[in-house]
Chain A
Amino acid sequence: MKKLINDPEHVVTEALAGMAEAHPGLRVDLENKVIFRRSAPSPGKVGLVSGGGSGHEPLHGGFVGYGMLDAACPGEVFTSPVPDQIIEATKGVDGGAGVLHIVKNYTGDVLNFEMAAELCAEEGVEVASVLVNDDVAVKDSLYTAGRRGTGATVFVEKIAGALAETGASLAEVAKTGEEVNARSRSFGVALSPCTVPAAGRPTFELGPSEVELGIGIHGEPGRTRAPIAPARELARVAMDAVHTDMPLSGDCLVMVNGMGGTPLAELYIVFAEVAAYLREKGATPARSLVGNYVTSLEMRGFSVTVCRLTDDLTRLWDAPVETPALRWGR
């Protein structure tokens, strides 16, 4: 294992220390492992808290700031945060209008956020939650834990965050978050695995000419393995999976996301194919995001996430945002 770390056991806290130094707009509670907006709580504003395993940076800590999250709680690498962290974050951002938990659909994340929400409610903090489950690679049935939350998390955090800035109620912010999730689908492809620092070995082996189709964001193997193919064909596999599940039409918000180790040029090659695919189906890539937003450590590969926009959602997407990883309009 060759990594820029000091000690596998201290990866998360040492990275948090760096975030605190780099971004004066954030306040990082190193003991409880929570990243807050420096100004939190905002009186009268719904607080937004998200969290999940580390290793997906910039998700979630990189999205704390004006127009997006009020706090993020990172767990260990690929491990959900514990209830104590979530409670600390929730209380710290409660400005009296309630707190929205944005939770990716993984058994661990769901259980820990549920436990935290119950305890917060007992202490009088009103909590609602939005479950993100956009990954079409997982069959949503009684026979799985349900679809994973992946790229759409960025869309939910941005759009719900923009609405919260307008002074909307907890119920309204939660409803819009759910709407974004319901209108979004994702599919991921890996060219190489990743290595969890504490494990020291890659999570799976891929031959030099193989790819994994239908991966999540935790270095877990996907549903099938296939020979490497041109970007055009891999993009088509991903978009076919999305389009089959949610026929594409109208204005779309499209993210081509790198898994951490993918050159940006390759992501743009994929984006060109994705945009062509959308036009072929009569849809428009009206808004876009190309880069590393929801990563799996150093994995090479990409995921594509499409959200079918409405005028309201477009306006909220365009609204000002100022976080370490997303900033415009301010």
Chain B
Amino acid sequence: MNNIAVGAQAQPQRVRIRLKRLTLFDVVVLFFATLAGLITIYPMWYVIIMSLSDPIYASGSKVTLWPIGFYLGSYSVVLREMQFWISMRNSVLYVLIGTVLMLVTTMMVAYPLTRPNLKGRKACVVFLLIPMYFSGGMIPSFIIITQLGLYNTPWATILPASYGIWNIILCKTFLQAIPHELAEAAYIDGASNYQALSRIYLPLAKPVLAVISIYTVVGVWNSWFGAKLYQTNANIQPVQLYLQKLLIEQSLNINKMIEQNMTEDMIRALNMRAISARQLKYSMIVVVTLPILLVYPMFQKHFVKGVMLGSLKG
């Protein structure tokens, strides 16, 4: 009782102080910052509330700020869709394999390039730099993938993205800051080059490898164009290509998908009406995007660090 009374007394005073400190300038700044925030967040928010609203309202134009009604049926349709799960599984596998390969290839090149006694370092660096500025383009790459027999295999998207020259240079710059004495000490203790790499440099490179891996995870998860070019078999396509077919190309029959995945109970509950194609699209977007948006604030520091590291090199 006493506590509450004290709290109630203290409250108005604090508010007054806060308000006093806000100048007109602050108000203008807060206004524009909030406006920018709203413009950014509202489209995403709109997708979420539309996916959650009652199908009657979701197909109309009433939903603006909050979900009207509450209905998870469109999510259950998405989650019942077999092809969706197949593409999700593929994407998860591509992300896992792609990230591991990226880290391994990055370390395998970055470490030797920092060794003082490496012969032909300059040639190696030139070999890495040329593809950064020149690429053969879409068609020659397509021909190579086809002639290697990778067309319509999972490797057609995994292998070309299994290395990143920018990442190698980033990692090399990072490793160069580690004093050579550390490796020398290990050699005196009888360590081989591989042991020095795995026991000393790998643990020390964790920060830069963390940056590289989260960039790779997001990059692979969001990629679709390679699959569009090289993977026509729906059973190996990643989820972003599935979304592209559903949202953009509209080559998937959404109404059939809804029809097949709605249970008797759902149809009865909705008075014999179906979920709209639009609501299903919104639910699909949420299911695919939410994991990344929820996880990203935790890694924000690393992402920002990545931008800094990259800009320092330039």
Are these two chains actual partners, yes or no? no
B-binding residues in A (CB < 8 A): none
